[in-house]
Amino acid sequence: MKLCILSGADVRRAVTMAEAIQAVKGAYIQLSAGQAIVPLRTAVPVQKQEGVTLFMPAYLSASDALGAKIVSVFAGNLARGLPLIHAVVIVLDAETGRPVAIMDGTYLTALRTGAASGVATDLLARPDARVAAIFGAGAQARTQLEAVCTVRSIEKVWVYDAVTERAAAYAEEMKTRGRPIPSAIAVASSPAQAVRDADVICTATTSTTPVFDDADLKPGVHVNGIGSYTPEMQEVPAETVARARVVVDSRSASLAEAGDLLIPLKKGLIRKADIHGEIGEVAAGQIPGRQSGDEVTFFKSVGVAVQDVAVAAWILRRAAELGLGIEVDL
């Protein structure tokens, strides 16, 4: 039995951000249409290393994509000079269950998470959005900016990180990426400076407290909250959530894991009924997106395996066309 192995470099060559956004949008539509089987992910805490390993399977029946991701998030890795996140994705033949590929999932995780915000920004942000603010300066923050710039003509970017040196390094790196990312990228001295003029905000941190103040937001801003993925983590103020049109990637996953929603729920600031719907419903035209230029919109993503499986299936098809990867006998 042959198994294709794709490296991180192969994954990068096989898919663009625009293609990943397209794949994730299709996956979200299938998820909201009941055409996906996605068990809640299984988390295995590794407390002595400040880490957690997540097991995330999914099957998309309409596109016949089957697979799973194993992803580890170990906070201590940064001090070791290692990435915060490591991951692998396995793709299975949906007809036989046979493993057909294993690929690096570290970049794929950042890519599909960025693509999720790309889908949401395209559907919910003001069409004339020109200024973006990025919270965090890690791998996720890089693909967040790339995705937002793919779907909106961003002219100015503010980046804020608790470690100023990280934000400065991020700004210098992203300035060299070229279009669609603008060269006008500045390090904010405070969260207020970062969000004051922002039309689109992406939070990509591991914070347990809000990273900006609700009072500092301009009317009509769109917020993508992607960093918090446990009930205790919170990046977006409860006040913002309470007044925003809230759209999620998955109702069940968000209500089980998203501190950005669970904390306001416990405080009585919002009800479950205040969640407008899933992004797949907006993408399919089943429910409306933004209703006015001054409305605040909030996309909360905890990440669902349909994203990984859909993008991995795209990568595998493209890799075959380009002759990428190596084949081994199992």
Do 166 and 136 contact (CB within 8 A), yes or no?
A: no
Q: What is the rounded distance in angstroms from the CA atom of residue 148 to the CA atom of residue 161? A: 18
User: What whole-number distance in Å separates Cα of residue 310 and Cα of residue 63?
Assistant: 8
69 is catalytic: yes
Is 123 in contact with 96 (CB distance < 8 Å)? no
- Contact by Cβ (8 Å): 130, 155: yes
In which residue are the tokens 């559907």 written? Answer: 123
How many C-beta atoms lie closer than 10 Å to residue 283's C-beta? 21
Q: How far apart are CA 89 and CA 246, in angstroms?
A: 30
DSSP 49-113: GTEEEEEEEEEETTTTEEEEEEEEEEGGGGGGT--SEEEEEEEE-TTT--EEEEEE-HHHHHHHH
Residue 304 CA: distances (Å) to CA of 102, 183, 192, 248: 19, 32, 31, 11
Question: Catalytic residue among 2, 25, 69, 267, which?
Answer: 69
Residue 89 and residue 68: Cα distance in Å, rounded?
6
Kind and range of the H or E run holding 131: strand 131-135
Closest to 111 (Cα-Cα) out of 66, 153, 147: 147
> How crowded is the C-beta side of 93, counted as CA atoms within 13 Å?
10
The catalytic residue positions are 69
